[in-house]
Structure formats: C-alpha cells, structure tokens
Structure 1
C-alpha cells in the first residue's frame, strides 16, 4: 500500500420516509438515498503533525474550520479516530469539503460529510476500511454533533437502496410501488438536536405521551411497510399523512411545513409529510408518475419552497454505489 497525494471520498444525502423521532424509542424508520445531492471531501496530509484544517465549498458551504476552536472538536475527533482505525501514525490533514447538500435540513448532511471524510482518508492512505468500521466512525461523529442519534442517517447515507432501520440494523425495504418522491426545502434551517430535546422534554413533562406517540408511530410504520410491500400507494399515502399529523401534534411541524404539505395534497399527492427532525427543513410527497411529480414540485414552489428534488426510490436499486475507493 502507498499513500496518494490526495484522497477523495463521496457520500449522498437521504430522507426519512417515516418513523423519524420514533426510531429513538424503538420503532423502525424507513429512509431512501438521495443521490443527486452529494458531498465530496478531498484530503491531503499536512506538514503540521497535529493540525486539521477544513475548507468548505459548494452551495452548502460553511466558514473555514479553525481546529483550535472548541466548536470544531467533532471534526478533529472524527479525523483522529479514522486515522487510528486505518493504522496511520499521521495526525495532520487538510480537508476540502465540497458540500452539495443543504445544511440543517434533515437531509443527512452531517452524516454524509462524516462518511466522505472517512472514505477520503482511507483513499489517501490507500487502506481498505470495513463497512462496519465506517458506520461506527460515522455514528460516533453523529453522536458528537447531534447528541442522541439513532444511526439511521449513518446507514442511509451509505445505502444504495431504500432501507428499514431498527435497533441499529438496516435491512432492505420492500418497495413494491411505482412511485416518485418529491422533496421540498422550506428554506428554514433547523437543529435535529433541538428537536430531539424538545420532544424528550415534552414526554418528561406529560407522562403517558411517550407511550401514545410510540403506539401511533408503530401503527403508521406497519401500515406504510405493508402498503409498500403490497404495492398499495394509497395506503402508503395515508400513512404519510398520519405521520405528519403525529409530528404536528407534538409540535415538531411549523406553519411553513404545514403549508408545503397542504400544497402537495392539493396538487394530488397521495400523501405528504415533514421529514427529519422537523421545526424546519424539508417535506416530501408521493407522486404517482412524473407529470404529477412536476405538478407537486410547482405547487411546492408556489407555497414557498426554495428548492425541490424528485427521487425514484425503485430505480436506485440498479445504480452502483461508489464507496470512494480507487479502481
């Protein structure tokens, strides 16, 4: 094995279809990859043994990271842990993060960034990294960034197909519907950590609410997964709507998100909901075909969405997954 002048790592975005928040309480969650939104990290070794400099570029760019600032500690820890896992004695690296995933929108930008960093360092050092080790490193980074984290994002940004995630394990999600998913960005940044903490405090202040939330979420997940397996798009759509109502009832939605969901339903979507932590971020809607997806995307725009993307989850099954390694 020999070191390369630079290493390159890629990862893609994701959206949660159903089960967000509930996955932290033992309920399964489903997610799909969003491969048109990507994160690329380019890595090189630094002359300074203990320095880790990060420069952000692209539409999701953030200010350059000063490694001496406490706020940047999770990135330094991720780099240090990854280098150790790869058996490297190096500690100083330069990273350029080309971010094509909007930040703080529930699209998995932090998990995708962590995965791209891990793969870039593995490529730089010409080392193979096992998928389980890669997942552990990403999940450890997610815990540092968000606090309590289920692991669904770490799994979904590495997935090449729809997944069902429960108790730390991702399996293939049966996808029997010929449908599209239209995603809309509300343009409002939101913190997953804040949303998780808000829901936890709500449960602490109102005994019995957690059990009610989990019970409703379980029934939604069962309906949705059964509908997907049977090819019943209307059943899946109804489950989407109930999932949004569940999250709205615990005050994780907002007027902007509700307006986007309502606009999609008015445009003919079988079902729409917020996705991710809530309080802001994105919503998604089901579409029966491409013309309807276009109508829903236009409705989203009229309702205030800043960006939209259309995903065909059933088609990603045939797309190869690039793991960041050199041919």
Structure 2
C-alpha cells in the first residue's frame, strides 16, 4: 500500500489534504505467547506488512475515523471516549488519542483514515499496528517528538497498551506495541517484561537456506473476547496462590513443586506453559544468534504442543496446519499469536516450501475447511512517518 493512495483516499473522504501519513508494522512472534503479562520473555519480529494512517489535527475535540478495509466509521468527542466507546476497531484508534491525554499530553481531536495490508484478527497484531500508527501520527501532529529515540518510543508503547486495555477492553500485555514501536529491521527482539530490557537478535533465515512461512488458516479471533481474558485471569490466580507478583518468578527448577502446590491440574498446566515458554524464548534467541534454525524449528514445535495441551488455545484448523506442515518436511511449526484462531508459523527449507504449502492446502480441502493462504514472514521496520 502506497502512502499517496492513503493521502488521496483521505482527500476524497474528508475534502481536505492530510498533514501526513504514518505507519506501523504487524508482528510475528517466533515464541513467547501469554508471557508478556506474566513478566516473562517474548521474541517477536516486526512484519513487513503494515497499517497506514493519513491524519490531520483538528481545533476541536472530535475524533473522526474511517477505514478502507473495515466497515463502520466513528465520530466521537474525545471527552466521551471510554470503555468500549466508540466500540469496535474505533476503540483502538480513538482510545490511543484518549490515552495521550491520560498520559498528560495536550492533544485535541484528529481526522484519521486507515489503510492496511495486514490480515485482521489473524494473530499478526493488526490491533497494535493500528494503535501504533495512530500514536506516531499524534506524536508528530502535536509536536510531541515521541518517535525520536527508544525511550520516547517506550512511552508511546505504554500509551498504546493503555488504549488497548482500558478502551478496547483487550487484557493484553505489551509485546505487540513494543515490537511495532521499538523493533529493529532485520532483527527479532527478545523482550524481558520483568525488567524492560531488549535484546536485538539477528533474523537471517535466508543465510540458513530456510523460509519462515505464515500460513493463514482463515480462522479469526478477538483479543477482547473472553477466552484471552480467561487465560490472563487464570495466570493472575496462580500467581496469587503461589504468593508471587508474576509467574516469571517461577523458574524451571521450581516448576515441579509449584505445580504440586496448585489446587487443580488445569492451573498446573497453565503454569507449565508460562514457565517453559520463557525458557524456550531465551533458548531460541540464542539459537538465532548461532544461526541454528533446526533448534528454532524444534522450539516452535514444542511451543505449539504447550499452547495446544497446556494453555489450550489452539483450534482444529491450526492443529491440522501444524501437523501437516511437519509431516511435509517443515523443521518446526506452531500457532502464532494469542490463540483461538489465526495463523501458523513454519520453518521450511527454501526448496521445500511448495511441498508444505500444497500439503496444507490439500489437507484443508479434505477436511472441508476453507482454502489456506501462505506467504513468507519477512522482517519490517518499526513505526515511522511515510509522507
């Protein structure tokens, strides 16, 4: 999607020229699901597919929103933005403007037009890409200079997460916003959510002769749905039962005793996922630095087994795509994102890509599912001004 096309669409819709165009990437998380809100480790990569916004500041408090992809324009007074208002996708965008005021920044209303080449609801962080592109625009429109360095970008990530948690009512952690705003082109980012440190790790699948495929199963989820919130609440309950402030405090050596201290097997499995997922994230970062993509693939498969069996967030279409990709020669495969639908990541030798994609397509047809779509996961740039 070209910035000029977004500008032209803004002019047609609002009858005025935008002040600029900004964008932010989606992300694919190599490993580290449901660990950010538990003070753990995540290993995301900013995707080369993005959400773009054309925007112009207003002198009043109106926030007007329209999208080229999603129906349902929004027009709301900034002073009236609250939980689930304006609702839908508009809560992510208007909520971001609202969150600037909550953080003490003097901002007024804005006119915004959104365009995107990201899959929506597919586990690739389309919601955070929207928030972060809006945040980049607001920062520049009101001369806040919050894109200038990593410390200010960290503040923007917090603003965006506040919008998602409080206005869009999605009880997520900060991995998506951190990746979109603070990621580095050509790198994965090992994020430690206990102390806030970042460790850039080279993302070079081509050097090993492999591709990382994103297989869109056609299933969709919503982070604001009850399923995601239930897992968050279960983890909070486990922390309370174990007397810790977050599950990151439980290490692999402590896991067996901690599981035995919990009152039921479901909570024990949830804990096992978080603890082992943290260990997998650190190990996978090391494997990336060493160029060991066999180990990366193996870690992905173990992560999927944990999400399927311990966290219980997979669905039949996802499991079929994972199992079929592995049977067709993938070095590893897993559900990507918060779960309950979306996409699969698979590490595949470059020459084996056609066999894997054809096998998944055939398996879906035999099962009576919709046709899956696959593309290569390439690293992109963090949030920026485009025009």
Q: In which range does the TM-score fall when normalised by the shorter chain? A: 0.7 to 0.9
Give the alignment partner of residue 37 of structure 2, picking from 2, 5, 24: 24
Give the alignment partner of residue 246 of structure 1, picking from 299, 306, 323: 306
Write the distance in 2 (CA, Å) between the matches of 1:294 and 1:137: 42
Name the structure 1 match of 2:214.
Answer: 183
Name the structure 2 match of 1:44.
Answer: 56
Q: Deviations over 1:177-200 (max 9, x none)?
A: 523210011111112243332324
TM-score (structure 1 length as normaliser): 0.84
- Counting only pairs closer than 5 Å after superposition, residues 266-305 of structure 1 correspond to structure 2 as 266-289=327-350, 291-302=351-362, 303=364, 304-305=370-371
Name the structure 2 match of 1:138.
Answer: 160
Q: CA deviation at 1:75?
A: 3.2
Name the SS for the 2:219 alignment partner.
coil
Q: CA deviation at 1:266?
A: 2.1
Q: How large is the RMSD of aligned CA atoms in angstroms?
A: 2.8
C-alpha contact 1:11 1:40 (8 A) present in aligned 2: yes
State the aligned residue count.
312
The runs of 5 or more residues in structure 2 that have no matched partner are 1-16, 78-84, 147-151, 238-263, 365-369
Write the distance in 1 (CA, Å) between the matches of 2:338 and 2:104: 33
C-alpha contact 2:93 2:134 (8 A) present in aligned 1: no
Name the SS for the 2:361 alignment partner.
helix
- Counting only pairs closer than 5 Å after superposition, residues 63-102 of structure 1 correspond to structure 2 as 63-67=72-76, 69-71=85-87, 72-82=90-100, 88=106, 91-102=108-119
Name the one with the larger helix percent: 2
CA 211–186 in structure 1, closer or farther in 2 if over 3 Å, else same: same
Name the SS for the 2:299 alignment partner.
helix
Q: CA deviation at 1:165?
A: 1.3
Per mean C-alpha deviation after superposition, the further-off stretch among 147-156 and 296-305 is 296-305
Write the distance in 1 (CA, Å) between the matches of 2:200 and 2:53: 27
Write the distance in 2 (CA, Å) between the matches of 1:176 and 1:309: 17
* 1:173 correspondence with 2:201: yes
Greater C-alpha radius of gyration: 2
CA 77–217 in structure 1, closer or farther in 2 if over 3 Å, else same: closer
C-alpha contact 1:155 1:170 (8 A) present in aligned 2: no
The runs of 5 or more residues in structure 1 that have no matched partner are none
Q: CA deviation at 1:81?
A: 3.7
Name the SS for the 2:284 alignment partner.
helix
CA 79–244 in structure 1, closer or farther in 2 if over 3 Å, else same: same
C-alpha contact 1:56 1:96 (8 A) present in aligned 2: yes
